[in-house]
Amino acid sequence: MIRFEYKYLAPVELIERLRLEIMPYVNYDEYANASKIGEYTVRSIYFDNDRFQYYNDKVDGLEIRKKVRVRGYGAKDESSIVFLEVKRKKGVYILKSRAPLTFENLEKIFVCKDFERYILNKPIENAVKSAKNFFYYVNVDNLKPVILVVYEREAYQGKFDNSLRITFDKNLRASLSSRLTDLFDELNMRYVMKSYFTVEFKGKTKIPHWFRNIVAKYELKFMALSKYVLSVDAFDFSELKQITRLGL
């Protein structure tokens, strides 16, 4: 599904006011609502190669680019589901494919590529195809896990348009990681943008007037923010080169 995505940087002292401003138009999404605290933790291990091709594509401002990552949520338990994801972006438009599997099988699928055995076909259609697409990029671009990026997300869904999503992503932190098993770790985290959080607007139709008015009222600046790039920038080049030498 193709959607558009706009990102804004906001100071943390605005979070309560922005929350109150959007609440007449949105509800918590099912995952934030299920958490009982209105938020959940998002964990992603991003892949890149020793030339940091995907990082540089973003920094250089390429209009068409992609991210390859493994994503999980919350804390690890016996039933933890993780996703192999490819996120393609052209300007403000995004297309994301994902393939679910259990965390305990994550390392196994990188070894044997037995998609039919390990990929969960429900509730996501074409999950096996998405997994094959993920590994296509891993192989053709010689990708390796390089960094774990973690943050807390408040997620909201439109009351009148359920394709509309607004998220507040906060407490961004990262650690260099060459191991898939680090996905649920919190060790050696380095905090990024302590004084700011990101407001993300995603949808299939145009931005509604009420959201435009909030952006104008609080002078939120549209920015091409990348949590991956911001997190990589928190580390020295020598540290990054060491992690790419470790690889899978």
Task: Report pLDDT digits (tens) over 72-126.
Answer: 999 888 789 999 999 999 888 899 999 999 999 999 999 999 999 999 977 777 9
30-45 pLDDT, tens digit each = 888 888 888 999 999 9
Mean pLDDT of the chain: 92
CB 215 within 8 A of CB 227: no
CATH architecture of 2-246: Alpha-Beta Barrel (3.20)
Domain positions in the chain: 2-246
| Burial class of residue 99 in the structure, from the number of CB atoms within 10 Å of its CB (0-12 exposed, 13-18 middle, 19+ buried) | buried
Quote the pTM value: 0.93
DSSP assigned state of 206? P
Where does 44-90 have alpha helices with state H? 53-59
**Helix, strand, coil in percent for the chain, rounding step 5:** 30, 35, 30
Report CA torsion sign: 33, 37, 39, 43: negative
Percentage of the chain surpassing pLDDT 70? 97
CB 98 within 8 A of CB 70: no
